[in-house]
Amino acid sequence: MEENNNQAQISLKWFEIWRSAFLHPTIQIFSQIAGDPKASTGWGIFLMAISGLIVWIIGPQRNLWWGMVADTFGLKPASLFLIIGTVVFPILGVIALLINAALSHGLARLFNGAGTFRQLVFCWGVIPLPFILITGLASLLPWYTYSIFRMLSSGPTNFAVLEIILLISGLIAAAGILYLFYAQVVAFSAVEKCGIGKGFGILILTAIIISIASSFLSFGFQAMLMKVFQY
């Protein structure tokens, strides 16, 4: 028994954690990750901030928002927007993680969950990084392939090919998001020591509660703005 306890306390290397989380998202793997000696809220927050920063840098939303700000306010405010977004986007990701983890963990406790908030934040903070990097690179690969083809060819732009590439990239991104959500469900089930079906139900309930609360906050914020500006 003592030997088993000592083995359970062996700390995994970061690469081992990310590889296992991506390639083998099982209850057993995430139970091992949650029980890692370095599993802490601080590490979960830090890694989620890193993931948010990477999404901000390589994601398409940055250029889209920059274009809208530039068209509306000019290039200087748009450049300032990029700097602010680099700081704010990771913070918003961390806030979303903490709110989602707190609500999900609270609901799990109502349904006899047996995990800890610290373990849940750590697992959910660890998971996104390999999924973002691998899925992001995979979705960009068709575009790089087409760019190389265009450099070697002097023919006209084939918009039908561009549409196919856009579709392939979209499907890869969608598959990555679904796979990430599945890994989060398994990690939640492993931490809270419940079945995957029960974990899925709790996370869907969490999403519904957050959506309803966000809608009320959005309506309230709009009403406040209308009152302030006397619309």
pLDDT tens digit string along 141-177? 777 777 766 666 656 666 677 778 778 888 888 898 8
Which residues contact residue 210 at a Cβ distance below 8 angstroms, ignoring those fewer than 6 apart? 99, 100, 103
Q: Considering the entire predicted model, what is its pTM?
A: 0.80
Asked if the model's pLDDT at residue 77 lies above 60, the reply is: yes
CB 52 within 8 A of CB 94: yes
pLDDT tens digit string along 85-125? 888 889 999 999 999 999 999 999 998 888 899 999 999 99
Domain that holds residue 7: 2-228
CB 81 within 8 A of CB 65: yes
Encoded tokens for 14: 């970061």
| CA angle in degrees (0–180, nearest 5) for 115-116-120 | 90
Type of residue at 17: I
Most confident of 41-50, 54-63, 204-213, 220-229: 41-50
- How many structural domains comprise the chain? 1
For the chain, what percentages of helix, strand and coil (3-state, to nearest 5) are there?
85, 0, 15
